[in-house]
Amino acid sequence: MRKVLKPLAATATAIALMWAAPHAAAFCGFYVAKANADLFNEASKVVMARDGNRTVITMVNDYQGDPTEFAMVIPTPVVLQESQINIGKKSTVDHLDAYTAPRLVEYHDPDPCREVEFLKRSRVQTAMAPAAPMAMADSAEGLGVTIEAEYTIGEYDIVILSATESDGLQTWLDREGYQVPPKARSVLASYIAQDMKFFVAKVNLEQQARLGGEFLRPIQLAFEHDRFMLPIRLGTVNAKDKQDLILYTLTRKGRVESTNYRTAKIPTDMDLPLFLKSDEEFGRFYKAMYAKTAEREGPSTILEYAWDMSWCDPCAADPLSQAQLRELGAFWIGRNGGASTGSASQIIAPQPRPGGQARDAFVTRLHVRYDAASFPEDLKFQETGDRQNFQGRYVMRNPFKGDLNCPAGADYARDLQNRFEREATQLASLTGWDVSEIRQKMRDAGQTPPTVPKIDKQPWWEELWNK
Amino acid sequence: MFLRNFLIDARYAQIAVLFTLIALGITVFNFDIPVWHAGGVLCAALIMQALCARLVHVPFDWRSPVITAASLTLLLRTDHPGWSLLAGGLAIASKFVLRVNGKHIFNPANFAIAALALGASGVWISPGQWGAAGWFAISLAALGLIVTGKAKRWDVSLMYLGSFAAILIGRALWYGDPLAIPFHQLQSGSLLIFAFFMISDPMTTPDARPARLIHAVLTAAVGAFIVFDFYRADGVILALILTAPLVPILDRFFPADRARWRASKEPQYA
């Protein structure tokens, strides 16, 4: 989170704590780090906004090489007109990535000696406080390739093709400088047989220079089709290793899931040792845990976030504004409705609970690590009616550092020993890291259990009759 | 007595297998089955069975509503207990109301899933939830039922799976796709549950074997059509709703003895 927002987040959380009963505080906390998609090298990011059969796809590529060598070939279910293609802003996708990123939250244990007293006093209040709701030409004809349309949009030269046979399509693509691996032929043939069209794009160097662009902006496609799918097969043809895809969907009803692969949830709500506090260490943890989870679950899409876009708790970034959601293709959000005229900067603070501006959008973040062997078929999806919120949330509990010289303090010290050990073994099982190394790092970071103070325990009967 | 019942009535074995699959789903495959959903469909199914049995003056039988509830628990997902209750009730009610020649037309769970999945936004099925390991577990259970003779209509299950596989493999060959694609499509837990616990329901399948086999092939073809031309993941289940009304016609052309769970001359509301 940006530094300026931190105090705001803290204030908002503090207010929330006062409103909510103490037990509800267990779900809040101070957001400290996030694991965004940049962690995963060359991860493709795709945003899909869909309602009914209307779909808007935003594709972001992190292509860093020579722009003359950049080319993309995407099968699409329909022939796209110029007005159906748009160039989006990478920053909006980055914002959505940050909003949905797995997050680390931090708590500070209270003084155990005073906690007991506090709990006694607050019990009545707790009972009364309502629980707060928590919560992506001519020679052509001879080859059986029809150029349906050609456009130059932004820094891209775009050609929409239909084809009758894959050999011709491949020859055409090769001649035009799209380096399609030979093994792709059968995949192209399959898409042709399914009556899919092809969207092919190259960088127009003149336009790119004129725009002064250093990076390639996301391409957006809007179309209507009953097929809710993402073609991944072409990408797997020549890939040596597994690839990462992060799909963000914006829908109205609820969570999106794959219908032809399992959807597994990323392990969440774990207590983590304190040495993982920095963005770098937390990122290292998340990568290791994701790798282990993806391996354990087999070919599955892994759910990292599912949330109503109106709020977040804790917020890794502000919810997107109505204008930003429209930018990402959420066409159903009113053109003039609400504050859609406002820009992102007008959103004031992270919104730890419902309230503020309602946004008619449900976001799902699915992370897929795939190759041709484990994912032979394109990803197919459906929108479900499930509106349960889910997030990858990891908790860091700072132990109380003061005097523990009271019976509750002694209990707390004993609990801490168990808690630290549990954190170490859990981290080892989640990441596959060596447990003794974890213990060592915990000690190096000063996370050692306090000595248990010797307290003469009051006999229970004295406690009972308050003697 | 219980053991004798277990041996003569195949429904006990079905209940045991379905409950084992629910337990596996929750513990191993992390299915999100809320207690209110499982409880909701079970209560609604039992209450509706009791009510309808009283209305048509037949003894109350708990076994088939439990099977229906277990199927709904495994296959259906809802966002509200109201939908779960409605699913359980609707399933059993269809069995008592929609009847031709003393036989109900639709498999109760199939009817409820199709009616709600088409009509309500908060109801869906999750065909991808089992994965390859889950598929293997269901295959073992199904094989167990066939070997022990508890799957009375295993001919339907195998004919259905065989013809569906043939369509998928044929389609892949036509498109020039690698065979990994149809094999992946066949590794669907929901497809197996449908084949062994829904389309093979002895009460709603045709009485004669040739008719059953024709019905299985038709249902597979319609299912594949809905899945690939209408892009509906629940096409397999919806197909049975469309082909079930053909059963009374098939029964007329291929007469045979009616299936019974146990020796009895009473009309079967199971």
A350-404 tens-digit pLDDT: 454 444 567 889 999 999 999 888 899 999 999 998 999 999 999 988 888 888 8
Alpha-carbon distance A16 to A25, whole Å? 8
Check: complex ipTM more than 0.90: no
Alpha-carbon distance A85 to B3, whole Å? 68
| pLDDT value at residue A138 | 47
The answer to whether the CB of A388 falls within 8 A of the CB of A263 is: no
Instruction: Suggest the residue from B37, B78, B86, B121 to mutate for an interface test with chain A (most A CBs closer than 10 A).
Output: B121
Higher-scoring residue by pLDDT: A103, A208:
A103
DSSP of B134-169? HHHHHHHHHHHHHHTT--TTHHHHHHHHHHHHHHHH
Q: Which long-range contacts (CB under 8 A, 24 or more apart) does B53-59 make?
A: B53/B269, B55/B96, B56/B96, B56/B267, B56/B269, B58/B266, B58/B267, B58/B269, B59/B266
Tell me which chain B residue has its CA closest to the CA of residue A263: B129
| pLDDT value at residue A7 | 33
Mark yes or no for CB contact B184/A260 under 8 Å: yes
Strand segments (E) across A164-319: 197-203, 219-224, 229-230, 243-251, 256-258, 262-265, 270-272, 300-308
Mark yes or no for CB contact B132/A260 under 8 Å: no
Mark yes or no for CB contact A186/B177 under 8 Å: yes
B78's CB contacts (< 8 A; 6+ apart) are A385, B37, B84, B87, B116, B122, B123, B124
Beta bridge partners of A222: A56
A183 burial class (0-12, 13-18, 19+ CB within 10 angstroms)? Answer: exposed
Mark yes or no for CB contact B178/A227 under 8 Å: no
Alpha-carbon distance A13 to A351, whole Å? 9
Mark yes or no for CB contact B133/A263 under 8 Å: no
| pLDDT value at residue A405 | 83
Tell me which chain A residue has its CA closest to the CA of residue B134: A262
Answer left, alpha or beta for residue A35, where phi above 0 means left and psi between -120 and 50 means alpha: beta
B168's tokens? 């998928």
Mark yes or no for CB contact B233/A380 under 8 Å: yes
The domain spans of chain A are 5-61+84-136+220-398, 404-467
Contact with chain A for residue B119, Cβ under 8 A: no
Highest mean pLDDT among A33-42, A331-340, B128-137, B234-243: B234-243
Alpha-carbon distance A71 to A117, whole Å? 67
Cα A219 to Cα A71, A84, A214, A216, A241, distances in angstroms: 12, 11, 15, 9, 25
| pLDDT value at residue A84 | 92
| pLDDT value at residue A22 | 26
Alpha-carbon distance B124 to B114, whole Å? 10
Beta bridge partners of B103: B100
| pLDDT value at residue B267 | 54
A365's CB contacts (< 8 A; 6+ apart) are A100, A246, A247, A248, A303, A304, A305, A306
Cα A316 to Cα A98, A271, A359, B130, B239, distances in angstroms: 6, 18, 17, 32, 45
Beta bridge partners of A370: A243
A325's tokens? 């959601």
Which of A190, A226, A373 lies nearest to residue B176, judging by beta carbons?
A190
Cα B57 to Cα A129, A255, A437, B90, B268, distances in angstroms: 52, 45, 71, 20, 12
- A262 to chain B, closest Cα gap in Å: 5
Number of H helices and E strands in chain B, helices first, is 13, 4
A54: pLDDT strictly greater than 60 = yes
The answer to whether the CB of A356 falls within 8 A of the CB of A373 is: no
Size of interface A-B (CB pairs under 8 A): 81
Instruction: Quickly state the pLDDT bin for B4 (edges 50, 70, 90).
Output: low
Contact with chain A for residue B23, Cβ under 8 A: no
| pLDDT value at residue A144 | 81
pLDDT tens profile A180-189? 777 788 888 8
Highest mean pLDDT among A268-272, A401-405, B131-135: A268-272
Cα B181 to Cα A164, A198, A330, B176, distances in angstroms: 22, 21, 32, 11
A18: pLDDT strictly greater than 60 = no
Q: Rounded to an integer, what is the distance from CA A311 to the centroid of its chain?
A: 15
Phi, psi for residue A257 in degrees, rounded to 5: -135, 160
pLDDT tens profile B167-199? 999 999 988 888 999 999 988 888 888 888 888
Q: B79 to chain A: which residues are within 8 Å by CB? A: 254, 385-387
Which of B79, B129, B176 lies nearest to residue A189, judging by beta carbons?
B176
Instruction: Quickly state the pLDDT bin for A339 (edges 50, 70, 90).
Output: very low
Q: Residue B220 carries which DSSP code?
A: H
Tell me which chain A residue has its CA closest to the CA of residue B33: A386
| pLDDT value at residue B217 | 95
Contact with chain A for residue B180, Cβ under 8 A: yes
- B186 to chain A, closest Cα gap in Å: 10
The answer to whether the CB of A239 falls within 8 A of the CB of A372 is: yes
Q: B30 to chain A: which residues are within 8 Å by CB? A: 264-265
Answer left, alpha or beta for residue A298, where phi above 0 means left and psi between -120 and 50 means alpha: left
Q: A300 to chain B: which residues are within 8 Å by CB? A: 131
Tell me which chain A residue has its CA closest to the CA of residue B29: A264
Task: Please name the residue that has the structure tokens 């260490």.
Answer: A281
Largest CA distance in chain B: 58
Contact with chain A for residue B121, Cβ under 8 A: yes
Q: Rounded to an integer, what is the distance from CA B81 to the centroid of its chain?
A: 22
Q: Which residues of A touch B (CB under 8 A)?
A: 166, 186, 189-190, 193-194, 226-229, 253-254, 257-265, 297-300, 373, 376-377, 380, 382, 384-388
Tell me which chain B residue has its CA closest to the CA of residue A386: B79
Which of B121, B178, B233 lies nearest to residue A376, judging by beta carbons?
B178
Mark yes or no for CB contact A382/B130 under 8 Å: no
Strand segments (E) across A332-403: 362-370, 379-383, 390-391, 393-398
Three-point CA angle A102, A104, A381, nearest 5°: 15
Which residue type occupies A302? I
Q: How high does pLDDT run on average in chain B?
A: 86
Q: Is the peptide bond before A449 cis (omega within 30 degrees of 0)?
A: no
